[in-house]
Structure 1
Amino acid sequence: MVKILLACSSGMSTSLLVQKMEVEAKERGLDAEIWAVAQDKAPEDMKKADVLLIGPQMRFMKKKLAVTAEEVGIPLDVIDPVAYGRVNGKAVLDIALELIGNYNK
């Protein structure tokens, strides 16, 4: 099972994106757990995730969150603003899977 964590300012704006990603994962037959949290909860939830994607509005937090991500051994990146704005679950799922694959090489 792949575990994908999304983080945004309050955890609310990514909830629709999570739903779209879950539909895409299901269509691919991918066993995935995808969830969203507010930025202050992200460091704790990273311990349970394979990857962290942060909302574009939080790109300023990337360096701070990268410290924890490195400690727990997961990749992280900022979600592409266009994919985020369009709530493109397929594109964001692809990014997450690519990050996990490249990190585990």
Structure 2
Amino acid sequence: MKNIMLVCVAGMSTSLLVSKMQKAAQEQNIEADIYAIAENEVDKILKSKNVDVLLLGPQVRYLKGTFESKYKEKNVPIDVINMADYGMMNGENVLKQALKLIG
């Protein structure tokens, strides 16, 4: 089971992308827990849940360095979702990005 966290300003704008990623995962028989949260919820979630990858919406890309420093000991890969894939809500490509980061 892959645990994929998407982070945006309020956890709302990425909800459609989450749905498309879940559909792509299902079509590829990939077991994944994919969800979107607001940037201010990251601390709480990471304290209670293991996360395999953390993807940032383009609107919160400025948090990448902060999150990398803050969560370094958790060894969670952190990256910014490709802006074109985000804009087109390309769940398949974002899922590929997440899986590549997980390794």
Report the TM-score, using the length of structure 1 for normalisation: 0.91
- Counterpart of 2:16? 16
SS in 1 for 2:40: coil
> Quick one: distance in 1 between partners of 2:36 and 2:22?
12
Residues 23-62 of structure 1 mapped to structure 2, 5 A cutoff: 23-46=23-46, 47-62=49-64
The percent of aligned pairs where both chains have the same amino acid is: 46
Number of residue-to-residue matches in the alignment: 101
Q: Which aligned segments of 4 or more residues in structure 1 are displaced greater than 4 angstroms? A: none
- Give 5+ residue unaligned stretches, structure 1: none
Contact in 2 for aligned 1:4/1:50 (Cα 8 Å): yes
More off after superposition, 58-67 vs 45-54: 45-54
Q: 1:75 and 2:77 equivalent?
A: yes
1:58 is displaced (CA, Å) by 0.5
> Quick one: distance in 2 between partners of 1:43 and 1:71?
13
- Give 5+ residue unaligned stretches, structure 2: none
1:73 is displaced (CA, Å) by 1.4
> Quick one: distance in 2 between partners of 1:48 and 1:15?
20
1:12 is displaced (CA, Å) by 0.2
1:38-63 Cα distance to aligned partner (Å, 9 max, x none): 00111332342100000001011111
- Counterpart of 2:86? 84
1:70 is displaced (CA, Å) by 1.5
> Quick one: distance in 1 between partners of 2:70 and 2:92?
27
Letter paired with 2:16: L
1:69 is displaced (CA, Å) by 3.1
> Quick one: distance in 1 between partners of 2:43 and 2:102?
18
Aligned alpha-carbon RMSD (Å): 1.0
Report the TM-score, using the length of structure 2 for normalisation: 0.93
